[in-house]
Amino acid sequence: MVTDRGLQVLRAIVQDFVDTREPVGSRSIVDRHAFGVSAATIRNDMAMLEEEDLIAQPHTSSGRVPTDKGYRAFVDHLADVRPLSSAQRSAISSFLADPADLDDLLARTVRLLTQLTGQVALVQYPSFAQATVTHVQLVALDPRRVLVIIVTDTGRVSQRITLLPAELDGEDLESVGVRLQRLVLGVSVREAATTLESAKQTAGSPHTPQELALHAIANAVSEELEEFRQNRLVMAGAATLARREDDFRGSIHPLLEAIEEQVTLLRLLSEMGADEKGFATSIGRENAAFGLGEASILASEYDAAVGTARVGLMGPTRMDYPRNLAAARAVARYLTRVLEDDESR
C-alpha cells in the first residue's frame, strides 16, 4: 500500500526524470523538493515504491526511474493539469482562427499541437454518417466531364470531377441531377449511400447516355459519401520521434508504421476509456496489444455537430503529462468552440 507521501515521492521522481532524463536519487529529492524529512526516510519511501513496481533501478548504484505502472499511478493521481500560459492560449486562438474548412482546421490543429508539445499530434475526424445531405450539384466542365458537389448540414463540402462514359448536353445533365437529388437529398449520409447502392442494383445495366451518366455519377457520389462515413486521422510531428529516439528502449519503427497505416491508432484512440475529467491515457505496456508498448497516447474529446472525436498526442512514456494533457484539452475546447460557431452561422 502506497502512502500519501509515497505518492508525493513518486510525483517528484516522475517530474525530475522528465526534466533531467537522469535517474533520481533520494538526495536530489531532498534538495529539490520540500518534504521536510531526511534522505533516509525518502529512501524508505522509494523502497516501498519499488516493491509496488512503480519505480525501478536501471543499473546498480543509480537512482530510480518511473515504470509504466508508475507513470499510470502518476497520471491517475494528478490533482490538476498545468494551465497553459497566456502566450500559449493566444497562439491557439490566433493559429486556429478563420479556417477555410474542416480539413484546414484539423491540419492546423495538429501542426499547432506538435509545436506546443514536441510530440506526435493526432486529431480524429468526426464521423459524418449521421450528417444530412443538403445539396448536390452537377456542373458541366465539358460534354464528358462533370464536377459533382456534395454539401451536408454540418458544412462538409466535397467536390469531385467525374468522367462520363458518353457525351451529355446541358438539358440531359440537368435531368440526371434531378434524379440524383431525389435519391440523396434530405437524408443522412449513411441512408444516402444505402439508397444509391440499392438503386444501382435494381436498375440493371444502363444503356442510354442518361442512364450511363447517372450510373457513373452515382458511383462517384457513393465513393464520396463513403469517405464522409470513414473514421480518419490527421497527424503531424513524426519527425519528433527521431529526435527523441533515446527515450525509447527499442525501435521507433512500430510507431512510424502505426502513423503510416492509421488503422492501429484509430482503434486505440476509439477504445481508450476517459476519466471524469474527459482525459484518456494509455501508457507503455497498456498499448502492447497494438504493438506500441513503448509509447504513451493521451487524448481529450472535442464536440462536432455530428458527435464527438478526439484530439491526441503520442510519444515516449517519458513525457510531461500535465503539460501535454493541458495542451490537448485547450485545443479540444477551442475546436469545439470553432465548430459550434460555424454551426450557428
Query: Tell me, what's the pLDDT at 232?
Result: 85
Query: Tell me, what's the pLDDT at 135?
Result: 94
Name every residue whose Cβ is closer than 8 Å to that of residue 225 and which is 6 or more positions away in sequence.
133, 150, 184, 189, 192, 193, 196
The model's pTM? 0.79
Classify domain 133-229 at the CATH class level.
Answer: alpha beta
- From the number of C-beta atoms within 10 Å of its C-beta (0-12, 13-18, 19+), residue 48 rates as middle
Query: Tell me, what's the pLDDT at 342?
Result: 65
Tell me which fold the domain 86-127+231-344 belongs to. Answer: Beta-Lactamase (3.30.450)
Classify domain 4-76 at the CATH class level.
Answer: mainly alpha
What's the average model confidence in pLDDT over 181-195?
A: 91
Query: Tell me, what's the pLDDT at 344?
Result: 56
Structure-block grid coordinates of residue 124: 480524429
Higher pLDDT, residue 265 or 277:
265
User: How far is it, in rounded angstroms, from Cα 267 to Cα 312?
Assistant: 13
- From the number of C-beta atoms within 10 Å of its C-beta (0-12, 13-18, 19+), residue 133 rates as buried
Domain boundary assignment for the chain: 4-76, 86-127+231-344, 133-229
